[in-house]
Chains A and B, each alone.
Chain A
């Protein structure tokens, strides 16, 4: 559905996107991740036919984004960052205008506009001026606009930006339901969303692709950050005994307010589940345990690692986090 080859985009003296290549297969939901200014929006603008690349090639839905721009725009539903809309139009009026621009007309157009308003939950607002809507509703009107012509590919630039948690969940469910009919490329900062929604993640930093894999594989590669939190009571140097267990790399003790409880954080190897061993040890030594919690690395950790080290997963230094 998307085929990007060696795409580069330079603004006056600055390289926003540096020689990136990636593919998106039909039916996939791909998350486009990266810190602010990484080149996400630039890439999406190029893919939607809004601006040309400095060099390289991008094919969307079988059409070249530069030479067959109109065909590309017909097959793409694009939602720009910040959801710019005409503030002097009413919701229904705006969506009908957009649907007509994208080639729908008459009864089909009216029915489809009704459908997308229902789908995105803006039906109650259809007679309101867009200028008077809250950020969340504007965001949804923009999403409705992107969907209205049943595009093969949806390119959504931060679709959940500015939404409240309930609305975010709503958009997430919506995207999941769209999966059967559309291919989706979306950028976001909310990593939790990506883990739950996307089939694949493309991470971009400083204009280069740093990772391109499933969310599970990415977190698995980040081995060093599996942590075990413990809260227990016992005499002597507990940290030394805990570190002696197989699979524990390092133990740090934290100050805790209420005596005699003590809190430890163990950095553990993910292939060994050390929880049983810790409990056995506690029983043998007659320690009292009141909390044990295993913290697996999240996509957020991968994201932070990548942004801070600009490295690739696998050779991430162990001292971070």
Chain B
């Protein structure tokens, strides 16, 4: 466990000495600002059932920035080490593969969580400045951030896996982006097509449609099924990553 913390510390350090974390943070802050403004204008124009929280995370601006986060945060993780040759230095020190994979993954999850802090500030600040006129239902807040973290963990695990496959960061980013998009679009497209075919397909697709998960959670409903779905898929992709990294040691 000590080795794990040393590795985690090093990974976090690499995130914050490189410009990547700051660039992603700026991108997320800007697009989140647009999303927040879009939500405010919806509430301003007419009375609405949804809260500011649910409108923010339904804005197009939100999804626009969302899928750029993962490739940017994860492409470096293994690809850079392969390119530099430092994977050899790393694995000739007494470290285990799971410690390396876990530390890199957890570091990216921590940076990802930091990215959403400014949006939290947006909500609190608007509630404060409007003297409570803007309502912040606590269920919606908890649900929104919970699903954000869990969905992020899944996408980051895919990014981690993509990075372990190649020594080229661009290729890693493209694989990661494609995997995330495929998962997202599968949910959206089949739902659109499905309405023309049958409702039962929509019911099935709703189990893995990210837009649907966001809708449920931001309305304050915490459903354990998407949580189990994302967490187990995260573990699966981390296991894949571990196997790719550890494969070196078993290839005869």
Contacts and interface: CB of A to CB of B under 8 A. Distances in A.
Interface in A251-279: none
A86 B93 CA distance: 14
Interface in B68-102: 84-86, 88-89, 91-96
B88 A80 contact: yes
A101 B94 contact: yes
Interface stretch (B10-18, B124-132, B212-220): B10-18
B252 interface: yes
Contacts of B3: 101
B84 A102 contact: no
Nearest to A88: B17
Interface in A77-121: 78, 80, 82, 84-89, 97-98, 100-103
Contact of B93 (A45, A73, A87, A142): A73
A235 B27 CA distance: 90
Contacts of A10: 252
A84 B250 contact: no
B14 A101 contact: no
A158 interface: no
A80 B92 contact: yes
A51 B251 contact: yes
A132 interface: no
A49 B251 CA distance: 13
A98 B89 CA distance: 9
Given A50-B91, A97-B10, A100-B6, A70 B96 contact: yes
A97 B92 contact: no
Interface string B233-252: 00000000000000011111
Interface string B170-208: 000000000000000000000000000000000000000
A84 B88 contact: yes
Nearest to B5: A100
Interface residues of B, number: 24
A309 interface: no
A53 B92 CA distance: 15
Interface string A35-62: 0000000000100111111110000000
A69 interface: yes
B251 to A, nearest CB: 7
Contact of B14 (A49, A50, A86): A86
B92 A84 contact: no
B88 A50 contact: yes
B92 A50 contact: yes
B92 to A, nearest CB: 4
Contacts of B85: 80, 82, 84
Contacts of A89: 13-14, 17
B169 to A, nearest CB: 14
Contacts of A102: 93-94
A52 B92 CA distance: 12
Given A51-B248, A73-B92, A98-B93, 18 more contacts: A51-B249, A52-B249, A52-B251, A52-B252, A70-B94, A70-B96, A78-B89, A78-B92, A80-B89, A82-B85, A84-B84, A84-B89, A85-B84, A85-B86, A86-B14, A101-B3, A101-B93, A145-B89
28 contacts: A48-B92, A49-B91, A49-B92, A50-B248, A51-B251, A55-B252, A69-B249, A70-B96, A73-B92, A73-B94, A76-B92, A78-B92, A80-B85, A80-B88, A80-B89, A80-B92, A82-B85, A84-B84, A85-B86, A85-B89, A86-B86, A87-B84, A89-B17, A100-B6, A101-B7, A101-B94, A142-B89, A145-B89
Interface of B: 3, 6-7, 10, 13-14, 17-18, 84-86, 88-89, 91-96, 248-252
Closest 5 CB pairs of A and B: A84-B85, A78-B92, A73-B94, A101-B93, A84-B86
